[in-house]
Amino acid sequence: MKPFSQKMTDNLIRWYINQPELERWNCHIEQKKHINVTMNEARKNGLKGDDDGSVYYRALLVGIQKRSRLQSNLKLRTTDDLESVTAQRIAAEKAKVKAKPSPKLDRLLGDLEPVVRKLRDEGMSWQKVSDFLAKYHRLKCGRGYLQKVFADK
């Protein structure tokens, strides 16, 4: 494997410094994987792995490079990279998605909450509360929905 140039090393270290702790942790996980692969290959070839620090330093640079490449999406060299990027993109989209506003829920938790509480305190079943809301407040909702909305309150 050819060594990293000084400019590339500087860029990788600079990128690593600017990352949050979780991303740095992932770099070290990649480092450990690379060390294992390198040592296994050396053993297969009948060589003894170097324990001087160069293997660990190079493995760290390889780990940083992998993580930075995943973040920047410049080149996806393996299927694992593609799957990882896809998982990251899905997680980002899920974080963006907000629940669709529910006018029925807003109305129940707004002006109708005292009505529902009063009816339940008087001993009405959820079904009768549902019928009452449909008849006098023009709000159709099932007893199960009412139970779910007011169960944790």
List, for residues 42-65, the tens digit of each pLDDT value: 777 777 766 677 888 888 899 898
Domain membership of residue 1 (yes or no) is: no
Q: Compute φ and ψ for 51, nearest 5 degrees.
A: -105, 15
22, 55: one domain: yes
13, 88: one domain: yes
78, 122: one domain: no
16, 39: one domain: yes
Could you tell me the end-to-end alpha-carbon distance of the chain, in angstroms, rounded to an integer?
62
pTM of the model: 0.45
CA 50 to chain centroid, in Å, comes to: 37
Q: At what angle do helices 6-17 and 54-72 cross, to 10 degrees?
A: 70
Averaged pLDDT score across all residues of the chain: 83
Span 81-85, mean pLDDT?
72
* Overall domain count for the chain: 2
Instruction: Give the pLDDT band (50/70/90) at residue 121.
Output: very high
Span 6-28, mean pLDDT?
88
pLDDT of residue 89: 81
Residue 100 or residue 36, greater confidence: 36
142, 69: one domain: no
pLDDT of residue 83: 75
66/31 Cα distance (integer angstroms): 9
25/149 Cα distance (integer angstroms): 41
Question: Can you give the residue range of the structural domain that contains 108?
Answer: 103-151
